[in-house]
A and B are shown apart, each in its own frame.
Chain A
Amino acid sequence: MEVDQVVPLPRLPRVAVCGGTHGNELSGVYLVRELLKLQREVMKKEQEEDSKPALVLLVLSNPRAMQQCRRYVDTDLNRCFTHATLNGPLSDMAPYEIIRSRELNALLGPKGSPEAVDLVCDLHNTTANMGLCFIGYSDCDWICLHIFRHLQREMPDTPMRFLHFDVSNKESYSLDSLGKHGFAMEIGPQPHGVVRSNIYTAMKVGVQHMLDWIRLFNSGNVFEGGFVDVFTMVKHIDYPRDSETRNITAAIHPCLQDRDFCLLHPEDPLFQTFSGETVRYKGTEPLYPFFINECAYYEKGIALSLARKRCITIPAIRVKGGSLGVFRDVRDMRL
Chain B
Amino acid sequence: MSSYNNTARFSEARRVAIFGGTHGNEMSGVTLVNLWTKNGTEIQRKGVEAVPFITNPKAVEKCTRYVDTDLNRAFTPENLSAPGGNDLPYEVLRAQEINRIFGPKGSPEAYDVIFDLHNTTSNMGCTLILESSKDHFNLQMMNYIKKAMAPASCLVLMNEHPLLKYSTSRSVAKHPVGLEVGPQPQGVLRSNIFEAMRVILKHALDFIELFNEGVEFPPCTVEVFRVLEWIDYPRDANGNIIAMVHPNLQDCDWEPLNPGDPMFHTFDGKTIHYQGSGTVYPTFINEAAYYEKQQAFITTRRETLVASAIIKA
Q: Does B191 contact A (CB under 8 A)?
A: yes
CB-based contact A192/B187 at 8 Å: yes
Chain B residues, Cβ within 8 Å of A296: 187
CB-based contact A193/B186 at 8 Å: yes
CB-based contact B190/A195 at 8 Å: no
CB-based contact B191/A197 at 8 Å: no
**In the bound complex, CA of A191 to CA of B183 (Å):** 9
Q: B191 contacts which of A34, A194, A195, A252 (Cβ < 8 Å)?
A: A252
Q: Does B4 contact A (CB under 8 A)?
A: no
CB-based contact B185/A295 at 8 Å: yes
CB-based contact A247/B34 at 8 Å: yes
Q: A251 contacts which of B191, B244, B247, B289 (Cβ < 8 Å)?
A: B191
**In the bound complex, CA of A70 to CA of B289 (Å):** 12
**In the bound complex, CA of A248 to CA of B186 (Å):** 16
CB-based contact B188/A34 at 8 Å: no
CB-based contact A197/B247 at 8 Å: yes
Q: B267 contacts which of A30, A248, A253 (Cβ < 8 Å)?
A: A30
CB-based contact A272/B244 at 8 Å: no
Instruction: Give the interface size bracket for B toward A.
Output: 20 to 34
Q: A191 contacts which of B121, B191, B241, B244 (Cβ < 8 Å)?
A: B121
CB-based contact A198/B191 at 8 Å: no
CB-based contact A197/B245 at 8 Å: yes
Q: Does B87 contact A (CB under 8 A)?
A: no
What is the minimal beta-carbon distance from A180 to any residue of chain B, in angstroms? Answer: 30
Max chain A C-beta neighbours (<10 A), residue from B121, B191, B240: B191
**In the bound complex, CA of A147 to CA of B34 (Å):** 47
CB-based contact A192/B186 at 8 Å: yes
Chain B 184-222, CB-CB to A under 8 Å as 1, else 0, gives: 111111111010000000000000000000000000000
Q: Using a CB-CB cutoff of 8 Å, which residues 127-145 of chain A contact chain B? A: 127
**In the bound complex, CA of A178 to CA of B187 (Å):** 30
What is the minimal beta-carbon distance from B257 to any residue of chain A, in angstroms? Answer: 16
Known: A127-B188, A191-B121. A196 touches B286 (CB 8 A): yes
CB-based contact A274/B268 at 8 Å: no
CB-based contact A254/B191 at 8 Å: yes
Chain A residues, Cβ within 8 Å of B268: 34, 335
Secondary structure dominating the interface of B: loop
**In the bound complex, CA of A32 to CA of B246 (Å):** 20
Chain B residues, Cβ within 8 Å of A193: 121, 186, 288-289, 291
Q: Does B78 contact A (CB under 8 A)?
A: no
Q: Does A227 contact B (CB under 8 A)?
A: no
Chain A residues, Cβ within 8 Å of B185: 127, 189, 191-192, 194, 295
Chain B residues, Cβ within 8 Å of A194: 121, 185, 286-288, 291
CB-based contact A197/B246 at 8 Å: yes
Q: Does A33 contact B (CB under 8 A)?
A: yes
**In the bound complex, CA of A70 to CA of B65 (Å):** 11
**In the bound complex, CA of A147 to CA of B204 (Å):** 55
Q: A198 contacts which of B186, B250, B267 (Cβ < 8 Å)?
A: B250
Residue of B nearest to A195 (CB): B244
**In the bound complex, CA of A33 to CA of B244 (Å):** 14
Chain B residues, Cβ within 8 Å of A257: 190-192
**In the bound complex, CA of A295 to CA of B187 (Å):** 6
Q: Does B31 contact A (CB under 8 A)?
A: yes
**In the bound complex, CA of A196 to CA of B121 (Å):** 11
Q: Does B265 contact A (CB under 8 A)?
A: yes
Known: A247-B34, A274-B35. A295 touches B246 (CB 8 A): no
Chain B residues, Cβ within 8 Å of A197: 244-247, 250, 265
CB-based contact B247/A198 at 8 Å: yes
Q: Using a CB-CB cutoff of 8 Å, which residues 164-198 of chain B contact chain A? A: 183-192, 194
**In the bound complex, CA of A70 to CA of B59 (Å):** 14
**In the bound complex, CA of A257 to CA of B195 (Å):** 14
**In the bound complex, CA of A127 to CA of B184 (Å):** 9
Chain A residues, Cβ within 8 Å of B63: 298-299
Max chain B C-beta neighbours (<10 A), residue from A197, A253, A272: A197
Q: B291 contacts which of A33, A69, A70, A198 (Cβ < 8 Å)?
A: A69
Known: A193-B289, A200-B244. A293 touches B190 (CB 8 A): yes
Q: Using a CB-CB cutoff of 8 Å, which residues 1-57 of chain A contact chain B? A: 30-31, 33-34
CB-based contact A69/B189 at 8 Å: no
Chain B residues, Cβ within 8 Å of A69: 291-292
Max chain A C-beta neighbours (<10 A), residue from B121, B189, B267: B267
**In the bound complex, CA of A95 to CA of B245 (Å):** 36
CB-based contact A253/B191 at 8 Å: yes
Q: Using a CB-CB cutoff of 8 Å, which residues 227-262 of chain B contact chain A? A: 240-241, 244-247, 250
Residue of A nearest to B183 (CB): A191
**In the bound complex, CA of A33 to CA of B185 (Å):** 24
What is the minimal beta-carbon distance from B118 to any residue of chain A, in angstroms? Answer: 14
CB-based contact B186/A191 at 8 Å: yes
CB-based contact B250/A295 at 8 Å: no
What is the minimal beta-carbon distance from B192 to any residue of chain A, in angstroms? Answer: 6
Q: A254 contacts which of B192, B247, B250, B292 (Cβ < 8 Å)?
A: B192
Max chain A C-beta neighbours (<10 A), residue from B187, B246, B286, B291: B187
Residue of A nearest to B191 (CB): A251
**In the bound complex, CA of A335 to CA of B266 (Å):** 13
Given contacts A296-B187, A335-B268, 15 further A-B contacts (CB under 8 A): A34-B267, A69-B291, A69-B292, A127-B187, A189-B185, A191-B183, A191-B186, A194-B288, A197-B244, A197-B246, A251-B191, A253-B191, A254-B191, A295-B188, A298-B187
Q: Which residues of A contact B (CB under 8 A)?
A: 30-31, 33-34, 69-70, 127, 189, 191-198, 200, 247-248, 251-254, 257, 272, 274, 293, 295-296, 298-299, 335
12 of the cross-chain contacts (CB-CB < 8 Å) are A31-B267, A69-B291, A191-B184, A191-B288, A194-B286, A196-B245, A197-B245, A248-B189, A274-B194, A295-B185, A295-B186, A296-B187
